[in-house]
Structure formats: structure tokens, C-alpha cells
Structure 1
């Protein structure tokens, strides 16, 4: 009895097989769908952006590629939008979509292994290992597009195998392949092409199929000759399905920021420096059984993909697979079909594992639990194969009781894995400080306080954040809070917002107001203080009743005001120090602005220190109150901090401010209230920057 043969215990009634499959899927589904609103504990910016893009699909915005978050493929967001038609535009719909795909993957992995090997026990053992694994559970609970890649790849592999059967004549040494229905290859091509719309790894994973036939042509010569037309159909259809995305990326190369970020080890290698790539390969190979992803965002740092027991079975299964690849036919006394099934299945899984792990070997293990998700369907095949191999060995040693003992031991091992997954994911990982930081639990709990107050606090909220951008904290609020609330996002460490209407000012411990703003904040009453966990990155969040406007922002005469385009008016400005500075000093420039209109484009304020020769000696470009949060007639202060060079010679510096568009870098023109070029009180004219001060630089 060998591992590739069908033992008596593998004769499993279809009804029993179905019951066991349903049980495995139910257990896996329970681990994936339970408590999705609290584990993960908050919401990442990427999750919020996925939900936001899905809600925009409902509004008719249907791009072939989303440019938010360094660029990403759209299929996951389109799938989420379908669920949102039932649940509404809520972030939970995005997590439910991930859980659905993760549960579907369990069934697809079973089906794939079942049709490739013909062994129901191996298929059930593989699906069960995936169902209870920490990696499988975690990737199915985070609202990220990566989970869709293994689903579509596995579905393509399943339908590809359904397209052919083995034809064997006893007088021939080896079986040959006969195509059954070509439409299976058409469907496989559609699924493989659709995988390009799932995740970046699909651009490697597709190569598994041609590589598989090349491998089989080598290890099983003559057997797969008739399969090449089916593969050609699959690849042509896949290319046609993926063509719109490919054309978009070809004509918009700047859309994929992530590619250049991730390819640096390869670039260095080609430039003659292999050190980083070799180190990444070393660490990547160890992530399966020794030392895994080191980011709390996706893993308990260092936790490998497999437990010690599953790792031992993994290496046993790996050895069996390598043996099965080259196992010779013995046509006189052996049915070659099981041998072909196991060798072809082993080749498929080995290639899938290699292609799936490739991103970690190139980029490194940081964040690898997501990047290598293409390997997920194959990884758990090998421990299952190791267990089946042990069962065959046990049967040869002690008879029918041997496989029963090994099977029971495997179930116990998986039960231990499941208990470990529950403890590791829902308790250890979900409550870890760095996970709470990554999932912005401070913000989520702050928003829960706001929602609990109902109409008591009104509709206007001014919230300080280290990430006030459009696709960061603002996206989280947009996907979790009622639409009638108005949020203004800013960073109090360098800006302060004065809404036209009374509002609630909120700032967490990590973004306290700059000391120069204390004059405005100290007299304001503290409404509430939210206390979080003592070990949290943010332990306290303060809520203030923020009055309407500010007495410090009384209007200057219109003749002295500078208008920047049709969006901003400069109300005032101060420099600290304002008279004499020394080389190496820090100059703080406080500019005060009133908002006339909300622009469609993102803007940035710049402050320049220019010497007598017209040379730029110091600058800062920043806008800590992003334009997406602006409300007409609001006012705000912005602090620019300029560090002067240590070698700056004595002389006079001009301090100039201005505004430019992020997309074009074009500066906004400066005019008076009636549209004329701005001269200013000192009659110094420069139509795209405003002279606000001159400062003397002393000697050493």
C-alpha cells in the first residue's frame, strides 16, 4: 500500500463525504463570520477605502482600476458593492465580503484537490487544515482585496481539471489525456482572467498553468500532448478578459506606485547588489515553518504559517509529492490513473506554492501574510498529504486500525490548531497594542462617543489627527458615521480650525495642539475626556465645546487682504522670532486664512525664506487642514516651521507664502478683493507668492 494508491478507507460514501464537507465549511465559516464588527478591533485606512470605493460603485463610478491606496485591482470592491445593495454602504459589508470569499475558498480547495487526486480523504484533510488555520482565518476577516486571488485561481484550477479525463488502454504503458468539453477551458480562462482583477500576485500565479504542462510533459512524456489546445483556449480567454486592465495599466504607468516600491530588491540585484534579495529569500523560505510575517497588522510577529505538528506533516507531504512526481508506471500490475492523478496534483501544488511564495522571496517577510496569499490553496495540501501518507504506512503495519488511528490523530491535531487560532487571533492579536494602533481603535471609539450623543452635540466636529487626509481617518468616519454629520479633519500640531458654526473640537493625546494655539484653547470648556487602555498609543481623547468663529480673526480692511485664486484669503500672519535670527535657528510662521470656496483639487501652502540674492534657503510645504474637509467661511491657522542652515551668512531674509495645486504644482494667482494684481501695503508685487515679513540674520 502506497500513499498514492486509494486505500480501502478512502471508499467514502458520497453522502458521508458531503456531510463532512459541510461540517468543515461550517466550522470555517463560523471562524470567519463571528464578531466581524469587533475583530479586527477597529478599521484600517485600507479597509475604509475599499468600502468607500464600493459605495461609489453604487453611485455609478465604475473604473477598471482604483487609484486609491497606491493603486489596486477592482474586483473585490465590485463584489462588496453587490452586498451593499442589501446592507447599505457600511464598512461591515466589506468584511462580510471577505468572510464570504474566505469560506468559499474552503469549498473550492476541497473541490480542486478532489478532482485532481480523486481522493476524498485528502481533499477533506486539506480543506479542514485551511478552515482552522490562523492564516486562513485572518485573511478572511480583513476587508482587503487579497482574499479574492486564491478564490479565482483555485476555481480556475478546478475547472481546468474538469476539462479532461484520462484514457488508458491496458496494452499501453502510460495513459493519455482526452478533452471532455472545451467550455470548461473557456470557463477556466474567464476565471483566470478575472483573477488579474483581484490582487497583484495574479501576475505571477497565471504562469502556474503553462509551467504545469511543461512539467508534466517532462515527468509524464506523451501523456499531456492533447491537453495543449485546452491550455491555449484557457490562456487566450484569460488574456482577453484581462486585456482592459492591462491596457489601462500600460497607458497609465503612474497609477501603480506600489510596483516601484516593491521591486527595489530586484533592481538592486540587477545592478550588481544581491545582498537584500538573498536576505529576503532566506527569510521568505523560513516563513512557512520557522519565522513568519513580522507586522502586527497581519500577524503575530514571527508566527509561522504552520504550527510545529503541521510543519512536520508539511515536510512529509513535500517529500511524498517530490517522490510522486517521478513515480514510474508499472502497467502490468498497476492502474496508472492514481499515479498520474497524484503526480499531476503534486506538480500543480508545488508550482502554486512556489508562485505564491515568490513575493516574499523578492520583497521580504514584512506584510507577507497578505502578499503570499496565492500560496494559500497549496500550503495546506502538503500537511494533509503527509497525514494520508502516514495512514497508508500505518495500514501496512497494523492493518485497518492504523488509518483510523492516524485519522483520529489528525483530527485532534486540527482541533488543537483551531483552539490555538481562536486564542491567537481573537485574544492575543485582537487585543495587542500595535494592532489597536493599526486598526485605529482610538478613532473608532471616538466616533462611537460622537454617535452616542445623538443631537446633543450638533452636527459639526473638528477632529485632530496624524492622518487627516481624504483617504485616511476621513474615510473611516465616512463609512461608519451618519451622512448628516460634518467632520473637519486637521492636525492640531501645526494647524487650528475655526468653523463658522459652533462645533466640538476633538484631539487625542498623540496630536496635542501646538503651544502657540493654547491662547485659543485654554479658555474653552472641556466637555468630556475619553480614557482608553493604559497601554494604548493614545490613552486620552479630549472633547471641547468650540465656539463660533474667533475674536482673533476679525477682518482686516479689504484693501490689505490678498486673495489666492478664488478659494482663500490671507487674513493675517506672524513670524517667531520676528526681528533677528541666527544661523541654525527655527523660524515659525503663523498664517491665518479664510475659506472662500472649496476647490476640487488638493492644495498645499508653502512658506519660503529667500536671501538677498534670491536663493531659497529654507522652506516647508504643508497644509494640515486638507481641502477635502474645508467648509466655506471657515477660518484656520497654519504653522510653517523653517530651519535655517548652520552656514547661512548674515543678511536679510524675505518670508514669502503662497498656495499651489498638488496635481499640477501650479501656484494660485494673488489678487485684491476686486480681482486686481495684489500689491500689498509695501507695494511689493509678485503675483504667485506674498511677502509677509523680512527678518535679519545675525553673525555667528
Structure 2
């Protein structure tokens, strides 16, 4: 019989499919995808959300970072109540590359906020395993809190990054002596092992931790509390398991020395200018009250900080929907379950060490203790400062909040009493519910609800952005090119926000405060915002094009019947304007003694001569003047030349005026009962020096004689 060989083809393989399957089973793959998600959420429409420029980010970029670009190098800047230099030095690079744009001002924060996502995963995995790390990283990626500080150009975003790196190296250093093959308390091979002594411990991880703890001092005030977290954890180990510190003391001393060495330049700079840290005194209200014997505010703030996860959160419109808690219902429940598990783990760990019992279902005790210390230490600034439950002041604790909320997922994933398939399925379901609920709540809140609120739009100059969008709707022919725009004139930040939004368009806005001033020429104005009581409201006539303008402003034409507007009292009209040495000329006045109202009409005949006005932060550095450099003084005098009433101001931004502009302003000079007013005098002066600006014929005032009845 002939032998027959039956050919059996080799089974078909799918290398690509197998590779994808292998990658999908790796936590690092999911961490990379989560990081990409976080980056996308942080850079998408970066100039549109928040809906405009916040004063703080304009100050930090256009004053401090720009000063660094100009060669003003320091470890600490006294601007805006005191700022550490590190964030601003990094931001100066982005500002140099992209200019004062969304990328130049906000991209650094977006990058730092993105880095916090994989770092949260890395530290979470080292502390509690991959399930906790992935869940916490995803929560941070999609959270309102995470997005808020990753999309504004302020220094807070550097704090979590430096803390996460420092704590990662600290934990790696403390783990260095654990025995090979020792598993954590959950029976999961991917779970971290408890700390074990080793002698001597490697010094490099301790030094790396100290480096980033020290750098934290150069980022934001809240970071100065970061070294207290590992210090308190060492204290915890001294109490419950001193043997675990065997072989670690030399490394801990190296960490402390490196931290001190890196932080020293900042601390010395602060000590050299203690008045520069004005912000600390401004916000430390509970501490001040406690020193005076009133502990009520301190207790109230402690309760607010401890309950901000589920009760009332940050009350400020700037960085939150007021009083909105960190978590929704699902997140809050799992957060407090996580806190309970961590507390139970610490208690169980102590009990197991005393009575030599085997670990239960709790997460690792040492990691739980570290996480609780981190959370409590991170929220401490909210206890000691105002406002209560401030998301900015507790930014150090941000990753700890999400790690605690993810902790129940890790416990389910690692519970050895259940088959692996069941616990992985249940853990995945729990993570999906937690992340899905958080994303549905927080993404809508950040991108839809929060930016639409009126106070948010006001604080971020969103209505100014709407004006700019209207003007440049046809970039080739922006209209109107010459116009007025109303605003509170509380510093230059409205003006700068509009300049950035106009993006170099060839237009010339004039800013004025409609409570006291009226721009007569140009006669087109964006008016009516912010909503204030203006005595000139009746002379603003809406234009048809206003239908195309979004936001709170109204496009109007100023059409007064006569100027001055006062119809009662005494009127002075000049055939030829009376000019001052700086180019500003007075042309008419009116005074109504019944109401004490003085109206002055001014016209700019040539280039306005102003002193150099540098851009200064708000608040300014100690001893630095940041007020106006031109004002009108107006006084009511009696027959003997004594002043009976005075009212100073300009209410027009002189830096925005052009030759040919005309404006009217109101002063209120109300004579006290029994006083007999004889004359009105007025003129121009520099509020910084007090020096009066003379008229072209050398007089330092204009005198108007009042009719005597």
C-alpha cells in the first residue's frame, strides 16, 4: 500500500491583529491613549475656552514673562503680589515662539496639564496598581478642574507636575528594598508590594525627588507644602513601622539637602523683599482671625475644604461655577469610598503588624497612608486662606482627589477572592461608570455652561472678543476703523484684551467710562457694557449693523443735540479752544449749581504728549506706581479762594486718543450747606508727580466766574 502524505497548511496568522491584541493588553497603551485624549481636550479651541483673556494670564505673560525676555532675570518677581520665576521663564519661551496669542500664552499650561495625566497614571500604578493609575489619569484628563488650570496661562498648572514627579521618585526610593516576587495585599501580580527595608538604599531616586520638591518652591506658593507630604509619611512610618526606614536615612537626608539647596535661592529672594508676598497676607484671613481669638472662620474653612468633593466647591466665577463640588454624585460616592478604604487600610495595616494577621482586601497600607497625607496636606491651604475650597489653593492635592476616587476600582480589580475574569469585568464596569459620569458632567460644564455665564464673560473680557469678531468679520476691510468703546478703565487689561483679539487689524479704538465721559468724536461707539448707570444713555442711537453684533455691547452712534448737554445753569463757549502744553484743548463748559454738575468739553488738536507709561502688573510691585498719568482737577472755590468742593478724574484712556478726538466729561462739585461758591477752576495734572500741566500761555488753571444771584 502506497504511503500518502496529507499536506496540512500552516494555520493562518494575523501579525497585525496579534500585535494590536498584545498592545491592548498593556496598561501603557491605554495610558498613551488617555494622554492623547487629555492633550486634545486641552488644546482644542484654546483661544475660545475660556471665552477671552483673564487679567491674571495677561499680567503673567505680558508683564513677567516679557520682562524675562527683556533680560530681567530673577528667582522671584514682586509683580502681582509676588510670583515665583520658573513658570514664567518657561512661558517666555512660548511667548518668544508664538507671540501674545493663544499658543504663546496658554500652550505651556496645556502641555503641563497633559503631562500630569501620564504622571498620575505612573504614580497611581506604582502606589496601587494599573487599574487605579489608569482610572485616575482618565478622570484627570476629562475633569473640569483638570481642564480649568490646563487652559489658562497661569502658573498653577506647574504644581501638580512637579509634585507627581517628586512623589514618584520618593516612592521608588522607598520601595527600593522590597523583596523580589513579593505581592501586594490584593494578590495581584501587578499590585505594588509593601515597603521593605534594604541597606543601603540607592541615593539617586532620593536626590531626584529632592530636586523636584525644591523646584516646586519656584512654581507656586502651594508647592511649598509638598515636602511636608513625604516628611509626614516618614513620621507615620516612625510610629507604626520604624523598621521600614532601615537603610533609608542616608537617602532621606540627601533628599532633604537637595530640596533645601534648590529651594534656597527662592527663599532668600523672598526674604530680601518680604513686602512682595502681599498675596499671602491678603488671603490668610482665617489665620488672622484665629490669632485674634476667633476660630470660627478656621473651622468653617476646614469643613469646606474637607467637603469640597461633594458639597460646596470653589465659590469664584474665575475658575469654577460657584460652589460646584469637585465630583458629581457617582464621583463623590466613590471618592468617599476610596477615603474609607484608605483609612481602613491604614488601620488594618497597623492591626496586622501588631497581631501578625494576613492582609485583607484593603489596598496597600503604606500607599494608602501616603495618599491620605497627600490629600490632607494638599487641602490645608484652603483651610488657612480665602476663598474657602479654592481649587487654585489646593492644586497640590488635585491628583490625590482622583486617585482616591479611583481606589475602589483598584480594590475590585485586585480582590483575590474573585476569579480574575469576574473582578476585571466588574472593575472595568466600575471604571466606565465613574469616568463616564464624570466626563458627561464635567465636559459640558467646562465647554458649555461655565463660559456662557455672564460673570465669566465679564471677567474674561468675552464681550470684548465679540466686538473684535464683529470688526474683523471682513479682515480685508475692518469696520468701524475709528470708534469708541466703553469700559470701567480699571487698568489697561480691557484695552490689551481687545488689541490681542483684533490681531493687528488696522483700527483705532478709544476707551472711555460712560459713567462720567462721553466720546463725541469718533461718533460711533460700542456702548452699554458693562451695564452701568450713565447720564449720557439718551444720546446713544443704535445702528442697524448692531443686529450682527453678539455679546453685551451695542453698536451706536453718539448724537447729542448740543454740547455741553446741561440745559440748566451757566454755559461757557470758546470761540477758539484753550490749549494746554500737552496738546489737549478745552472748548466749552457748563455748570449747574442746583445739581453741582460741571461738564467740560475737550478736543485733542495734535499728538497727545504723555510720559512713558510702562505696563505694570495689578497689584503693582511695592513702591511702583500703576495709576493714570493724566487727570483733570476741578474745584469749586468761595469768594476768598478757599476750596469748597473738588472732583478729579479723566474717565477717558488718554493712550487711546488720536488727533481730532473730542470728548465730554462730568465732574460733581456740590457746595456744602452755607458755602457761597464764587468760581470754578480746572486744569490738567500728572497724578504721579502732582505737577500741573500749564496752558500754552503759562497758566496752571482755567478760571470760570460764577453768576452771583
Q: Normalized against structure 2, the TM-score is what?
A: 0.78
The match for 1:673 is 696
The match for 1:598 is 610
The equivalences for 1:598-617 within 5 A come to 598-601=610-613, 602-605=628-631, 606-609=633-636
Structure-1 separation of matches of 2:158 and 2:662: 45
**In 2 relative to 1, CA 666–88 (structure 1 residues): closer, same or farther, beyond 3 Å?**
closer
The match for 1:650 is 675
Question: 1:310 offset after TM fit, Å?
Answer: 1.9
Question: 1:280 offset after TM fit, Å?
Answer: 2.7
The match for 2:26 is 16
The match for 1:45 is 55
Question: 1:670 offset after TM fit, Å?
Answer: 4.3
The match for 1:417 is 438
Q: Any conservation in 1 of the 2:304–2:388 contact (CA below 8 Å)?
A: no
**Post-superposition CA distance 1:608-655 (Å, at most 9, x none):** 44667887654444332234435577665433334555xx33333664
The equivalences for 1:92-491 within 5 A come to 92-117=103-128, 119-167=129-177, 175-178=196-199, 180-224=201-245, 226-326=247-347, 327-328=349-350, 342-365=364-387, 368-392=390-414, 395-396=416-417, 400-454=421-475, 456-457=477-478, 461-483=482-504, 485=506, 486-491=508-513
**In 2 relative to 1, CA 402–430 (structure 1 residues): closer, same or farther, beyond 3 Å?**
same
Structure-2 separation of matches of 1:659 and 1:469: 20
What is the aligned-residue RMSD (CA, Å)? 4.2
1:528 to 545, 550, 568: 545
**In 2 relative to 1, CA 398–168 (structure 1 residues): closer, same or farther, beyond 3 Å?**
closer
The match for 2:92 is 81
Structure-1 separation of matches of 2:173 and 2:413: 31
Q: Any conservation in 1 of the 2:60–2:153 contact (CA below 8 Å)?
A: yes
The match for 2:527 is 507
Structure-2 separation of matches of 1:438 and 1:375: 26
Q: Any conservation in 2 of the 1:156–1:187 contact (CA below 8 Å)?
A: yes
The equivalences for 1:540-619 within 5 A come to 540-542=554-556, 563=581, 567=582, 569=584, 571-572=586-587, 574-577=589-592, 580-581=593-594, 585-590=595-600, 592=602, 594=604, 596-601=608-613, 602-605=628-631, 606-609=633-636, 618-619=645-646
Q: Any conservation in 2 of the 1:201–1:372 contact (CA below 8 Å)?
A: yes
Question: 1:152 offset after TM fit, Å?
Answer: 1.3
**In 2 relative to 1, CA 635–544 (structure 1 residues): closer, same or farther, beyond 3 Å?**
closer
Q: Any conservation in 1 of the 2:572–2:589 contact (CA below 8 Å)?
A: no
Question: 1:392 offset after TM fit, Å?
Answer: 4.6
Structure-2 separation of matches of 1:309 and 1:458: 50
Structure-1 separation of matches of 2:589 and 2:686: 24
Structure-2 separation of matches of 1:634 and 1:422: 47
Structure-1 separation of matches of 2:478 and 2:424: 67
Alignment partner of 1:35 is 2:45: yes
Question: 1:107 offset after TM fit, Å?
Answer: 0.8
The size of the alignment, in residue pairs, is 645
Structure-2 separation of matches of 1:653 and 1:275: 56
**In 2 relative to 1, CA 554–693 (structure 1 residues): closer, same or farther, beyond 3 Å?**
closer
**In 2 relative to 1, CA 693–221 (structure 1 residues): closer, same or farther, beyond 3 Å?**
farther
Structure 2 segments unaligned to the other structure (5+ residues): 1-21, 181-193, 565-570, 614-627
Q: Any conservation in 2 of the 1:575–1:693 contact (CA below 8 Å)?
A: no
Alignment partner of 1:639 is 2:656: no
Q: Any conservation in 1 of the 2:636–2:644 contact (CA below 8 Å)?
A: yes
Question: 1:282 offset after TM fit, Å?
Answer: 2.7
Structure-1 separation of matches of 2:263 and 2:643: 49
Q: Any conservation in 1 of the 2:635–2:680 contact (CA below 8 Å)?
A: yes
Q: Any conservation in 2 of the 1:504–1:545 contact (CA below 8 Å)?
A: no
Structure-1 separation of matches of 2:587 and 2:327: 62
Structure-1 separation of matches of 2:469 and 2:105: 19
Q: Any conservation in 2 of the 1:461–1:506 contact (CA below 8 Å)?
A: no
Q: Any conservation in 1 of the 2:143–2:443 contact (CA below 8 Å)?
A: no
Q: Any conservation in 1 of the 2:199–2:246 contact (CA below 8 Å)?
A: no
Structure-2 separation of matches of 1:66 and 1:458: 40
Structure-1 separation of matches of 2:44 and 2:285: 39
**Post-superposition CA distance 1:394-438 (Å, at most 9, x none):** x52677523432332322331232222233222322333333333
Question: 1:98 offset after TM fit, Å?
Answer: 2.0
Question: 1:378 offset after TM fit, Å?
Answer: 0.6
Q: Secondary structure at the match of 1:493?
A: coil
Structure-1 separation of matches of 2:414 and 2:125: 18
Alignment partner of 1:622 is 2:644: no
Q: Secondary structure at the match of 2:503?
A: coil
Q: Secondary structure at the match of 1:571?
A: strand
**In 2 relative to 1, CA 604–270 (structure 1 residues): closer, same or farther, beyond 3 Å?**
farther
**In 2 relative to 1, CA 456–315 (structure 1 residues): closer, same or farther, beyond 3 Å?**
closer
Structure-2 separation of matches of 1:64 and 1:586: 52
Q: Secondary structure at the match of 1:452?
A: coil
Q: Any conservation in 2 of the 1:529–1:543 contact (CA below 8 Å)?
A: no
Structure 1 segments unaligned to the other structure (5+ residues): 1-11, 679-686
Q: Normalized against structure 1, the TM-score is what?
A: 0.79
Structure-2 separation of matches of 1:316 and 1:655: 73
Q: Any conservation in 2 of the 1:133–1:421 contact (CA below 8 Å)?
A: yes
Structure-2 separation of matches of 1:332 and 1:166: 26
Structure-2 separation of matches of 1:212 and 1:697: 82
Structure-1 separation of matches of 2:523 and 2:71: 33
Q: Any conservation in 1 of the 2:518–2:536 contact (CA below 8 Å)?
A: no
Structure 1, 373-382 or 46-55: larger mean CA deviation: 46-55
Structure-2 separation of matches of 1:643 and 1:277: 46
**In 2 relative to 1, CA 635–39 (structure 1 residues): closer, same or farther, beyond 3 Å?**
same
Structure-1 separation of matches of 2:88 and 2:530: 32
**In 2 relative to 1, CA 35–178 (structure 1 residues): closer, same or farther, beyond 3 Å?**
farther
Structure-2 separation of matches of 1:183 and 1:96: 32
